Structure 1
Amino acid sequence: MIPHTHIQLDPAFPENAPFWMPAEDEIHEEGVGFFQGVWAIFDVPLSEAAQVVADERAAATAVDAAANDATTFEYFARLIEAHNPDFPSEDPEDEAGMAALAKHGDVDSVTLCHLELGVAGLTYALAAIGCVPAASCRSHAERSWAERPVVVAAIDRVHADWLQPLVESASCGFDLDDLRPQFLTIHARSIKEMMDLAAAILAKAEHDPPPPLCWGPSSNDEQPPEDRVEVDGQQSLFNC
């Protein structure tokens, strides 16, 4: 089973939504400069994003079938997130867990690129169309900074307009985080909707490519807030 929340979602842009892109020289190996202990993922080829989306779907299908409650979902999700096809774990418990997942799909070659199940694909899909992801979380039963699956990203207005109908059709929503006001948040009630959105983004990009990437705020964009905050305790750009 895949955990679901019952939060309210709004596919419309939040009031005072920050539409912008960081300047190219603001992006470095540790991300876009607003989080601590992070790395950057941007300007991703569509083919690479498609592979992550496909791997994630296969992994989620297996985890959904193998897990019978939120606790076992968390166990199998963490197992698949840590899985490295080139260096399989020698821990007997991990091997047993992967064997249980393998009964429900081919997960041995799956890699989520150190990201979390259910938000890895959307992270890569956003990066492939010219957005700059900043953080994400699939949500956890304990010690989670997000109560629902989220991907936080810098998105300018033209890309946001391109995304909006897809966000709505996938039953996802836009939001703002008080601690991260310079980014748009895309969230959903479960990782299923997030994966559906990732697939829809790649499908649309094939026949209706998004506008070219434009670094920095455009003339039609709102400037990002001056107080750019850094959030303590962020373990990586796309994991919590």
Structure 2
Amino acid sequence: MIPTLDYAPDALIPNDATFWMPTEDDIPDDEGIGYFRNVWMILNEPEVTTRNVIETESALISLADRLTTSMEEYEALATIIDKGYAGEELSDHLGDSIRSDAPELLGREPDDELPLYDLELGVAGLSYALSTVGAVPVASCRGHEDGWSDRPVVFVALDEQRARWLQPLVGESGCGFHISRNREEFLVIDGPSIRHTSALAQIIVREFGGRRELFDRWLDLAVLDARYG
């Protein structure tokens, strides 16, 4: 099962959006922006990398939908995918299902690379898709009952050109925009479920198609490499 919240996202860009985007001088060498914890920069990711993340994520979402029968089982399996270990003891049903259908999820070593590169299920693909079109994802959460977001969200730094381009795609996917209090410089993209945010990632890559000429401004990664490399 994939949990879905009963609310209608607003696909209109908020009237008070600031459309702030960092410059190269705003990018730190070892952490993210916006004073979030445990984050890092994901900048101008190659489209091939993003497509691989989206494909992996889509398969894992289907796996979670197929193997879990309750919120507790979904949260346990999503935690294994996100972090490489279960947050609590697995039910017999879920443990048997994982060992039968995806035993590799239970056999990871602490230093093994995670399938979504330390991002969470359902928002990893969207974070990478936004990066590929030159936006700057700054924080994400797949939604937790007791977490900092109860719904899937990606906070993103966007200029107006990219925000206007994204708006119909956000609407097509069933996602929406909002602005979070105390983080007004960022737009937040949210969805009723990780299926919606995963669908948006796929739509973004489909519509972008590597056309960098769509947007006037891109962060110059050569500047950052010279500064921090």
Decide: shared fold, TM above 0.5. Answer: yes
CA distance in 1, matches of 2:158, 2:188: 10
Q: Which string of whole-angstrom CA distances, capped at 9 and with x for unpartnered residues, describes residues 60-80 of structure 1?
A: 110111111111000000011
Are the equivalent residues in 2 in contact too, given 1:58–1:107 (CA < 8 A)? no
CA distance in 2, matches of 1:201, 1:53: 11
Q: Which string of whole-angstrom CA distances, capped at 9 and with x for unpartnered residues, describes residues 23-71 of structure 1?
A: 1121122012532442111111111111111110111110111111111
CA distance in 1, matches of 2:104, 2:53: 13
CA distance in 2, matches of 1:56, 1:107: 15
CA distance in 2, matches of 1:52, 1:139: 19
User: What amino acid is the match of 1:204?
Assistant: E
Q: Which string of whole-angstrom CA distances, capped at 9 and with x for unpartnered residues, describes residues 156-177 of structure 1?
A: 0111111111101001001010
CA distance in 1, matches of 2:25, 2:96: 45
Q: CA deviation at 1:8?
A: 3.0
Are the equivalent residues in 2 in contact too, given 1:59–1:110 (CA < 8 A)? no
CA distance in 1, matches of 2:129, 2:153: 14
Q: 1:161 to 1:104 in 2, by over 3 A?
A: farther
SS of 2:185's equivalent in the other structure is strand
Q: CA deviation at 1:103?
A: 4.6
SS of 1:182's equivalent in the other structure is coil
CA distance in 2, matches of 1:214, 1:127: 10
Query: Residue 32 of structure 1 aligns with which residue?
Result: 33
Pairwise CA RMSD: 2.7
Greater helix share, structure number = 2
Structure-1-length-normalised TM-score: 0.78
CA distance in 2, matches of 1:60, 1:30: 28
CA distance in 1, matches of 2:170, 2:26: 27
SS of 2:188's equivalent in the other structure is strand
Aligned equivalent of 2:203, options 200, 203, 210: 200
CA distance in 1, matches of 2:193, 2:77: 16
Structure 2 residue 168 is matched with structure 1 residue 165: yes
Q: 1:46 to 1:207 in 2, by over 3 A?
A: closer
How do 1:3-14 and structure 2 match up within 5 A?
3-14=3-14
CA distance in 2, matches of 1:32, 1:152: 11
CA distance in 2, matches of 1:147, 1:123: 18
CA distance in 2, matches of 1:162, 1:156: 10
CA distance in 2, matches of 1:51, 1:106: 21
SS of 1:200's equivalent in the other structure is helix
CA distance in 2, matches of 1:43, 1:123: 11
Give the % identical residues. 36
CA distance in 2, matches of 1:46, 1:106: 29
Query: Residue 78 of structure 1 aligns with which residue?
Result: 79
Q: CA deviation at 1:106?
A: 9.0
Query: Residue 226 of structure 2 aligns with which residue?
Result: none
Q: CA deviation at 1:101?
A: 3.5
CA distance in 1, matches of 2:16, 2:94: 45
User: What amino acid is the match of 1:56?
Assistant: E
CA distance in 2, matches of 1:100, 1:193: 25
Runs of 5+ in structure 1 lacking a partner? 216-240
Are the equivalent residues in 2 in contact too, given 1:65–1:104 (CA < 8 A)? no
SS of 2:149's equivalent in the other structure is coil
CA distance in 1, matches of 2:78, 2:122: 9
SS of 2:17's equivalent in the other structure is coil
User: What amino acid is the match of 1:27?
Assistant: I
CA distance in 1, matches of 2:121, 2:95: 15
User: What amino acid is the match of 1:132?
Assistant: V
Structure-2-length-normalised TM-score: 0.82
SS of 1:100's equivalent in the other structure is helix
Q: 1:203 to 1:107 in 2, by over 3 A?
A: farther
SS of 2:166's equivalent in the other structure is helix
